[in-house]
């Protein structure tokens, strides 16, 4: 009888990396449904293109790096990157946008840094930023949410055939686009917030923060709560980010004057807020490691998000905020070690190391 011998522990919990990634994928479903109901099939097409690209790139790179392809593909991490990027891209964007972004995310942002677990920057956000900088036109052409009435016409999303033609044959999309609430708000010139809301269809047909988008955010919030409930991550990073954003909005609301930067609810339910809070800043690989660190990390992203939304050149800024803080995460880690059992105040002893 040959007895195997390995090191303790001899029991393992039920969790695996695959399971974590699967949970993330499941949690995107409500957001995807709402996005599709307002913007049509475009997001699903994005996700499909991105996924196929991601799996292809991942397999190719793994082969080049001489790693077991099946083993690494099964961790679903490439798929998660693809899905997140697909969700973030404007629906009915030309197909090469998703391909370029995903390829960049997987090959450069992930594998060039050493593969899963070693990438300092969130691959999906790298892909997004590269596209935003290279193709600003395509990246800001968002469809009007279906059901929004502008100048008496009810916006509708293209059907499947039109959609495929727009994506793959490059047919014009112009007739379907409209400013997002964030865009619209940025171009408010000299009106009190209240008046502006009344005059702008995106807002006067919306309930809290802009037609369509508020529901998209609520759907992602729902998915996030699911992940929290399954303990896939702790509350620290998302609460940090939403908290940071809320505080900034609170201090800059300005009572709704013509110079106001928008209300709290407007910021919380606009653009990529909830998507970012629960699907991007919670990416463990690129965030800070301790709970305290994650709170700070999230809060700073919230602050940067607000700053760029209010005073920057881009209407939304999640990707920039996240990448900036990815950069800062090691520093946050350095200053926020947890207090070890039996030791005095945290953050004192760790500085003893000579390497510092």
Q: Which residues bind another protein (CB under 8 A)?
A: 1-13, 15-17, 19-20, 71, 75, 77, 115-118, 233-234, 284-285, 287, 289-291, 294, 333, 337-343, 349-355
Q: Least CB distance from residue 336 to another protein, whole Å?
A: 10
Is 98 within 8 Å of 85 (Cβ atoms)? yes
CA angle, 245 as apex, 258 and 132 as ends, to 5°?
Answer: 85
Nearer to another protein, 23 or 200 (CB): 23
Task: Please enumerate in sequence order all residues whose Cβ is within 8 A of that of 189, keeping only pairs 6 or more positions apart, or say none.
Answer: none
Please state the closest distance from residue 77 (CB atom) to another protein, in A: 8
What's the closest the beta carbon of residue 4 comes to another protein, in angstroms?
A: 5
Q: What's the min distance (Å) between Cβ of 290 and another protein?
A: 6
Cα 243-286-182 angle, rounded to 5 deg: 45
Q: What is the DSSP letter of 232?
A: S
* CB 325 to another protein: min, Å: 14
Nearer to another protein, 84 or 179 (CB): 84
Dihedral class, residue 158 (left if φ above 0, else alpha if ψ from -120 to 50, else beta): beta
Could you tell me if residue 322 is left (phi over 0), alpha (psi between -120 and 50 degrees) or otherwise beta?
alpha
CB nearer another protein, residue 161 or residue 231 = 231
Nearer of residues 171 and 289 to another protein, judged by Cβ: 289
Contact (Cβ atoms closer than 8 angstroms) between residue 45 and residue 167? yes
| Nearer to another protein (CB atom), residue 58 or residue 214 | 58
| CB contact set of 322 (below 8 Å; sequence gap of 6+) | 122, 125, 276, 280, 281, 286, 301
Whether the CB-CB separation of 182 and 271 falls below 8 Å is answered with: yes
Q: Given the complex with another protein, which of 20 and 143 has the nearer CB atom?
A: 20
> Nearest approach, Cβ of 191 to another protein (angstroms)?
46
Q: Which CB atom, from 214 or from 333, has the smaller least distance to another protein?
A: 333
* Residues 163, 96: Cα–Cα separation, whole Å: 15
Where b means 16+ CB within 10 Å and e means fewer, 94-117 reads bbbbbbbbbbbbbbbbbbeeebbe
CB of residue 234 vs another protein: minimum separation in angstroms? 7
- Rounded CA gap, 182 and 316, in Å? 7
């Amino acid at each position: 009888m040959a007895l195997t011998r390995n090191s303790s522990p001899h029991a393992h919990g039920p969790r695996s990396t695959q399971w974590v990634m699967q949970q993330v994928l499941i949690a995107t479903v409500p957001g995807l449904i709402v996005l599709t109901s307002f913007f049509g099939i475009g997001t699903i097409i994005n996700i499909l293109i991105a996924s196929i690209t991601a799996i292809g790139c991942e397999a190719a790179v793994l082969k080049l790096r001489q790693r077991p392809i099946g083993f690494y593909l099964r961790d679903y991490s490439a798929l998660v990157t693809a899905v997140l990027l697909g969700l973030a891209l404007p629906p009915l964007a030309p197909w090469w946008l998703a391909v370029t972004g995903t390829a960049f995310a997987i090959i450069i942002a992930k594998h060039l840094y050493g593969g899963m677990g070693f990438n300092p920057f969130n691959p999906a956000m790298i892909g997004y930023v590269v596209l935003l900088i290279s193709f600003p036109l395509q990246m800001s052409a968002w469809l009007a949410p279906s059901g929004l009435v502008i100048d008496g016409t009810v916006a509708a999303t293209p059907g499947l055939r039109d959609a495929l033609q727009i994506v793959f044959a490059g047919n014009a999309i112009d007739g379907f686009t409209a400013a997002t609430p964030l865009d619209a708000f940025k171009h408010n010139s000299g009106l009190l917030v209240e008046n502006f809301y009344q005059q702008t269809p995106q807002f006067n047909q919306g309930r809290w923060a802009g037609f369509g988008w508020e529901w998209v955010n609520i759907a992602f919030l729902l998915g996030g709560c699911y992940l929290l409930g399954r303990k896939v991550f702790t509350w620290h990073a998302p609460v940090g980010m939403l908290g940071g954003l809320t505080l900034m909005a609170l201090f800059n609301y300005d009572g709704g004057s013509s110079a106001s930067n928008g209300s709290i609810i407007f910021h919380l339910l606009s653009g990529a807020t909830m998507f970012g809070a629960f699907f991007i800043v919670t990416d463990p690989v690129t965030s800070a490691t301790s709970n305290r660190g994650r709170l700070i990390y999230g809060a700073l992203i919230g602050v940067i998000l607000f700053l760029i939304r209010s005073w920057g050149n881009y209407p939304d800024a999640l990707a920039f905020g996240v990448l900036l803080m990815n950069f800062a995460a090691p520093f946050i880690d350095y200053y926020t070690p947890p207090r070890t059992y039996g030791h005095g105040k945290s953050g004192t002893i760790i500085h003893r190391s000579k390497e510092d």
